[in-house]
């Protein structure tokens, strides 16, 4: 049975994270978002907070906490700013969980431990200039050599590209084999030298206080022991990484809806038109009510996914549904929050324009709205069934 009560530890974590972000990071958000520069020291601050390895076992430097707690963390991070949640989505959800799920014991010790303990930041390199939703179309190659691989290619729209130390990347070991020819590799910046070039994208529409950029590999030598999983397993590895990433995105979007709801409700009780607070006008109430409903529904969906993850149940559909629903609801909530603020919402005097810009990215990444609709249509029609995966994430209690 799903228990929606939070434990005392979970409540304490939420309050601790909320208070910490409010004093140590929130004061920088408006300036950095406006300037389009990453929040200063964001990763080291999250590391000091002790959340960079939240779901991973203590033996890999993690905190050993469950998926409900991970969702609550992501909600608080995105309540502060989307860039923070994005950082933890790629660090924990995409790269960290990918290495945890598919890596050998030696790879977990070597690559996951510094990530979980907050000494190194991870990024996830799947998307390319000509391959986003269509992962099988990626062009990066990994050519086998006597003792490893040589990677060549380009990745674009990579969160934390210029700041990360460790990258979980995908390249074709059999270029003719489509998605079955993809393999996964860990690339370490400290060993890559000039063969790895990373760059930032500027003047983005949203997540302006975060680092989004690209990677290029020029004959980058990667030792064989950095390949994660078997040759040709890269596509399924990427899909399972996305499943964990999507969970963090869903929970984060829920936090963004709460930020919209709080801002819009506060403003609706301050601003007066026609002699009354605008909150007294029913059309304003409709927008606020939609935000409240969107928040509750999104939270329930991500908590259900968390509960399934804790139990080790397959949750591909449920997690994707939480992501699709919460991201669309956050986008609508942010649009309505701006509307409630009238012209002031159009300035950076209030945070709602930032909320709207930030809400847009998650509708696109980790499975766009259209890809999600296709997926859920296929599930409902019985055209899509989840096949067993060689390495399933264990139930949370078995992870410890
Ligand atoms: C802020 C941000 C951060 C990101 N961070 C990362 C990251 O860290 N790592 C990473 O690897 N990637 C990252 N991405 C990339 C993201 O995952 C891709 O943008 C996404 O997968 C979509 O790919 P695309 O942009 O190439 O669009 P395309 O795949 O070219 O799609 C273009 C349009 O066509 C639609 N479409 C595509 N196929 C279909 C279909 N079969 N049916 C109906 N419609 C379809 C799409 O929904 C979209 O509307 C990030 C993107 C953003 C915006």
Residue 130 CA to ligand 1 centre (angstroms):
10
Q: How many Å apart are CA 260 and CA 265, to the nearest integer?
A: 8
Residue 388: CB atoms within 10 Å: 6
Does ligand 1 come within 6 angstroms of the Cβ of 201?
A: no
Evaluate whether 137 touches 153 at the Cβ level (below 8 Å): no
Ligand 1 mean position, distance from CA 133 (Å): 5
Ligand 1 pocket check for 205: Cβ under 6 Å? no
Nearest in space to 38 (alpha carbons), one of 5, 87, 77: 87
Instruction: Spell 325-352 as b/e; 16+ CB within 10 A means b.
Output: bbbbbbbbbbbbbbebbeeebeeeebbb
pLDDT, position 395: 87
Give me the sign of the Cα torsion angle 341, 347, 349, 350.
positive
- 254 CB near ligand 1 (under 6 Å): no
Number of alpha carbons in the 13 Å side-chain half-sphere of residue 66: 19
* pLDDT score at 154: 98
- Closest by CA to 173, choosing from 145, 146, 147, is 145
C-alpha–C-alpha distance, residues 236 and 391, integer Å: 10
* Closest ligand 1 atom number to CA of residue 206: 1
- Ligand 1, atom nearest to 160 Cα: 8
DSSP, residue by residue, 270-301: H-EETTEEGGGSHHHHHHHHHHHHHHHHHHHH
d(CA 244, CA 228): 17
The answer to whether 98 and 111 are in contact (CB under 8 A) is: no
The residue annotated as part of the active site, out of 366, 370, 392, 398, is 366
Residue 392 near residue 50 (C-beta atoms within 8 A): no
Which CATH homologous superfamily contains domain 8-121?
Answer: Acyl-CoA dehydrogenase/oxidase, N-terminal domain (1.10.540.10)
Residue-level pLDDT at 400: 67
CA angle 311, 324, 42 (to 5 degrees): 80
CB of 158 within 6 A of ligand 1: the answer is: yes
Question: Is the minimum distance from the CB of 37 to ligand 1 under 6 angstroms?
Answer: no
At the second CATH level, the architecture of 244-399 is: Up-down Bundle (1.20)
Instruction: Report strand pairing: 166-172 vs 122-125.
Output: parallel
Residue 182: per-residue pLDDT: 98
Rounded CA separation 118/27 (Å):
23
Angle between helix 234-270 and 352-364 (nearest 10): 160
Q: How far is CA 233 from the centre of its chain?
A: 22
Distances (CA, A) of 399 to 55, 58, 59, 90, 306: 9, 10, 10, 20, 15
Say if residues 170 and 183 touch (Cβ distance below 8 Å): yes
Q: Where in the chain is the domain with CATH 1.10.540.10?
A: 8-121
pLDDT of residue 364: 98
pLDDT in tens, 297-355: 999 999 999 999 999 999 999 999 999 999 999 999 999 999 999 999 999 999 999 99
Note if 366 is an active site residue: yes
Q: Quick one: angle between helices 8-24 and 26-35, nearest 10?
A: 50
CATH fold for the domain made of 123-234: Butyryl-CoA Dehydrogenase, subunit A; domain 2 (2.40.110)
DSSP state of 341: T
Q: What whole-number distance in Å separates Cα of residue 228 and Cα of residue 103?
A: 5
Provide the 3-class DSSP secondary structure of residue 147. Answer: coil
Domain with CATH 2.40.110.10 in the chain: 123-234
Q: What's the CA-to-centroid distance between 116 and ligand 1, angstroms?
A: 27
Report field, pTM of the whole predicted structure over 0.75: yes
User: Is any atom of ligand 1 closer than 6 Å to the C-beta of 43?
Assistant: no
Alpha carbons 283 and 393: distance in angstroms, whole number: 46
Element at 100 (helix H, strand E): helix 97-102
Ranges of the chain whose pLDDT falls below 70: 400
Ligand 1 centroid distance, CA of 137 (Å): 13
Contacts of 60 (CB under 8 A, 6+ apart): 53, 100, 108, 109, 112, 113, 116
Q: Which atom of ligand 1 is nearest to the CA of 126?
A: 11
């Amino acid at each position: 049975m799903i228990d929606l009560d939070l434990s005392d530890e979970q409540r304490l974590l939420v309050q601790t994270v909320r208070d910490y972000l409010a004093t140590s990071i929130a004061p920088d958000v408006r300036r950095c978002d406006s300037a389009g520069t990453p929040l200063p020291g964001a990763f080291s601050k999250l590391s000091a907070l002790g959340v960079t390895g939240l779901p991973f076992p203590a033996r890999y430097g993690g905190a050993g906490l469950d998926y409900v707690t991970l969702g609550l963390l992501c909600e608080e991070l995105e309540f502060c700013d989307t860039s923070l949640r994005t950082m933890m989505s790629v660090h924990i959800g995409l790269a960290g969980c990918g290495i945890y799920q598919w890596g050998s014991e030696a790879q977990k010790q070597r690559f996951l431990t510094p990530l979980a303990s907050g000494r190194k930041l991870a990024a996830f390199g799947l998307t390319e200039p000509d391959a986003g939703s269509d992962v099988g179309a990626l062009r990066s190659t990994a050519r086998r050599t006597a003792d490893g691989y040589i990677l060549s290619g380009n990745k674009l729209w990579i969160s934390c590209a210029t700041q990360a130390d460790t990258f979980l990347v995908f390249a074709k070991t059999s270029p003719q084999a489509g998605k079955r020819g993809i393999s996964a590799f860990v690339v370490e910046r400290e060993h890559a030298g000039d063969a790895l070039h990373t760059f930032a994208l500027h003047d983005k529409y949203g997540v302006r206080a975060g680092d989004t950029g690209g990677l290029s590999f020029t004959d980058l030598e990667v030792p064989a022991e950095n390949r994660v999983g078997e040759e040709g397993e890269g596509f399924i590895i990427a899909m399972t990484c996305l499943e964990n990433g999507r969970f963090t995105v869903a929970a984060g979007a829920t936090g963004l809806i709460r930020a919209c709801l709080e801002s819009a409700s506060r403003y609706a009780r301050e601003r007066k038109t026609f002699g009354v607070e605008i909150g007294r006008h029913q059309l304003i109430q409709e927008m606020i009510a939609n935000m409240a409903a969107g928040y509750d529904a999104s939270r329930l969906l991500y908590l259900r996914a968390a509960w399934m993850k804790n139990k080790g149940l397959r949750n591909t559909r449920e997690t994707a549904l939480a992501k699709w629903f919460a991201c669309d609801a956050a986008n609508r909530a942010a649009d309505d929050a701006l509307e409630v603020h009238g012209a002031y919402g159009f300035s950076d005097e209030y945070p709602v324009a930032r909320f709207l810009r930030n809400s847009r990215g998650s509708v696109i990444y980790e499975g766009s709205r259209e890809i999600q609709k296709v997926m859920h249509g296929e599930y409902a029609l019985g055209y899509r069934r989840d096949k067993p995966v060689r390495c399933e994430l264990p139930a949370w209690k078995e992870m410890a």
